[in-house]
Amino acid sequence: MNIGIIGLGYVGLITGVGFASLGNKVIGVDIDNNKINKINTGETPIYEQGLEEKLKEVNDNFRATTNINDLKDSEIIFVCVGTPSKEDGSIDLKYVRRAAEDISKILGSYRVIVIKSTVIPGTTESLIKILEKNDKKVGEDFGLAMNPEFLKEGSSLKDFFEPDRIVIGSYDEKSKEILAELYKDFNCPKLFANIKTAEMIKYASNSFLGTKISFINEIGNICKKLGIDVYAIAEGIGYDKRIGREFLNAGIGFGGSCFPKDIKALIAKSNEIGHEPKLLQEIIKINEKQPLKKIEFLKKHIPNLKGKEIGILGLAFKPETDDVRESRAIPIVKELLKEEVIIKAYDPKAIGNFKKLFPQIKYCSPEEILNSEAILILTNWKEFENLDYRKNIVIDGRGILKAKEAKIYEGICW
C-alpha cells in the first residue's frame, strides 16, 4: 500500500520504517528540515535499538520529505505529530489541527486519514470540519480513523512488529476494512470500535500504568519507614495474575513524553466536563513528590550541599532511550542547582538532549562520577550494574543491585 506519515518523531518514524519493512511504499513528512536530511542519509534523529539498521534496510520503500504534496497518492495517511500539554495541563492540539489543514489541501481520490497521535476523546471527529474545508466529504471522499499507538520507547521496533493488541476506531466501514487489511498479518488481538472509544482506550491505558507506578511508590514510601524492601513486596503481589509484576518497580516516579502529559490531559478534560478525577490527581501528585525524596535522603548524609560535588548516573527518562522529556532527572537537577551543588552527570545516550536543558552542569564519564562525594542513580541502565560503588555514598532511585555494595547505600523506597 502507499502510506503517508505526518510527523517523523518517535512514533512516526517507527511506524513509517515498520510499514516500509513489511513491503509498503512509505513517504514521511516532517516540518523539521534537519530531521528530514538526517533520515534521508540513513541517520536516525533519535536513538532507538535497531532503528538505524532497519532504516538502511528499507531504503527503497521509505523516503522523507518536507513537502506535504508528496502524499497526494497515499492511500492511508497516519498523523503522528506531537500533542503536548498546555500550561494548565490540557492537551495542545495545534500540531494536529495544522496537520489536518495540510491534509485538506491535498485530498483527491478516497484515502483514509488515521490519527495515531494520542488525542483526547472527541478530537479526531472535531477535525472533520477542517478536513472538509475543500468540499470533500468524510465517509465519501475520505475516510477517518483513530489508531492509538502503544509502543514503548526503548523497544519500539519490537513493539511495532509484536504489539499486545491493535485498536482501530473508525468513522466509516471502508476505513475499517482498509486498516484491517493493512494489519492483517499482525498476530495479536484486534479491537474495532468507534473513534471516541479508541481515543479513550489510550488514555485509560496510560492512566492505569501511571497508577501502578504511583501505587507501588506509595507502598514503597511506607515500606521504607518500616524497614521493608518494596521489591520483595512487588514480587509477592506480582505473582497474583490479577495484579501482575510489570510496572511495579518502585523508584523516583515516571517521566517520558506520554504518561505525565496524558494523565494531565485526562484530568483537564474530566474537570471540563464536570467530574473531579481524584485518583488521577493523586497519581500525578505522588509522581511529582517522588523524585524530591532523593534530595531528602542525600541531605541525611550530607546536610549542607552547597559547593559539594554530586554525581548523577542516568538522565534519560528510562533506559535504552535518549529521550529526556519529563525525565525525573529534571526536577532533581533543578533542586540541586538551587542548593548550589556542583553537578557531574553521565548517561549512555541522553547527554546531548539533557545538555540542551542544562548546559551549565558538567558531563563526564561514569569513572569520574565515582569520584563525587555522593552519587544519585536516576535511570536503570544495565551498565550501571558494572560499576564499583564500594567507596561511595549512593542514593539509588532505581534498584541497582551492585550499588548495594556502596560504602553508604540508601534506596529511595527500600
Catalytic sites, residue numbers? 258
Q: Which residues contact 89 (CB under 8 A, 6 or more apart)?
A: 264, 265, 267, 268
Residue 149 interacts with ligand NAD (CB under 6 A): yes or no = yes
Residue 12 interacts with ligand NAD (CB under 6 A): yes or no = yes
Helix axes 195-226 and 230-238, enclosed angle (nearest 10): 130
Residue 257 interacts with ligand NAD (CB under 6 A): yes or no = yes
- Touching ligand NAD, residues 112-131 (CB under 6 A): 117-118
| Number of shown-chain residues binding ligand NAD (CB under 6 A) | 27
Residue 189 CA to residue 323 CA, distance in Å, equals 29
Task: Give the residue with the Cβ less far from ligand NAD, 31 or 342.
Answer: 31
Task: Give the residue with the Cβ less far from ligand NAD, 82 or 411.
Answer: 82
Query: CA of 87: how far to CAs of 165, 261, 264, in Å?
Result: 33, 11, 10
Beta-bridged to residue 98, according to DSSP, are none
Q: Which residues contact 118 (CB under 8 A, 6 or more apart)?
A: 83, 148, 149, 202, 203, 206, 258, 262
Task: Give the residue with the Cβ less far from ligand NAD, 142 or 160.
Answer: 160
CB of 30 to ligand NAD, least distance (A): 4
Of the candidate residues 20, 234, 258, 341, the single one contacting ligand NAD (CB under 6 A): 258
CB-side exposure of 44: number of CA atoms within 13 Å? 23
Of the candidate residues 4, 9, 16, 163, the single one contacting ligand NAD (CB under 6 A): 9
Task: Give the residue with the Cβ less far from ligand NAD, 220 or 260.
Answer: 260
Mark the segment that binds ligand NAD (CB under 6 A) among 4-12, 242-250, 342-350, 373-381. 4-12
Residue 322 interacts with ligand NAD (CB under 6 A): yes or no = no
Residue 246 CA to residue 387 CA, distance in Å, equals 26
- Touching ligand NAD, residues 350-389 (CB under 6 A): none
Mark the segment that binds ligand NAD (CB under 6 A) among 97-105, 132-140, 229-237, 327-335. 97-105
Residue 148 CA to residue 150 CA, distance in Å, equals 7
Q: Which of 140, 84, 97, 86 is nearest to 6 (CA)?
A: 97
Residue 31 interacts with ligand NAD (CB under 6 A): yes or no = yes
Residue 414 CA to residue 227 CA, distance in Å, equals 7
CB of 390 to ligand NAD, least distance (A): 37
Task: Give the residue with the Cβ less far from ligand NAD, 119 or 223.
Answer: 119
Of the candidate residues 82, 210, 251, 411, the single one contacting ligand NAD (CB under 6 A): 82
State whether residue 107 is helix, strand or coil.
coil
Beta-bridged to residue 28, according to DSSP, are 5, 64
Residue 163 interacts with ligand NAD (CB under 6 A): yes or no = no
Mark the segment that binds ligand NAD (CB under 6 A) among 70-78, 149-157, 245-253, 338-346. 149-157
The answer to whether 150 and 202 have CB atoms below 8 angstroms apart is: yes
Residue 30 interacts with ligand NAD (CB under 6 A): yes or no = yes
Phi-psi category of residue 239: left, alpha or beta, with phi > 0 → left and psi -120 to 50 → alpha: alpha
**Which residue of this chain has its Cβ atom nearest to ligand NAD in the complex?**
9
Task: Give the residue with the Cβ less far from ligand NAD, 65 or 281.
Answer: 65
CB of 369 to ligand NAD, least distance (A): 28
CB of 224 to ligand NAD, least distance (A): 30
Task: Give the residue with the Cβ less far from ligand NAD, 93 or 305.
Answer: 93
The answer to whether 354 and 328 have CB atoms below 8 angstroms apart is: no
The answer to whether 294 and 395 have CB atoms below 8 angstroms apart is: yes
Phi-psi category of residue 274: left, alpha or beta, with phi > 0 → left and psi -120 to 50 → alpha: left
Task: Quote the longest CA-to-CA distance of the chain.
Answer: 71
Task: Give the residue with the Cβ less far from ligand NAD, 15 or 214.
Answer: 15
Residue 26 interacts with ligand NAD (CB under 6 A): yes or no = no
Residues that bind ligand NAD (CB under 6 A): 6-12, 29-32, 35, 80-83, 95, 98-99, 102, 117-118, 149, 151, 153, 257-258
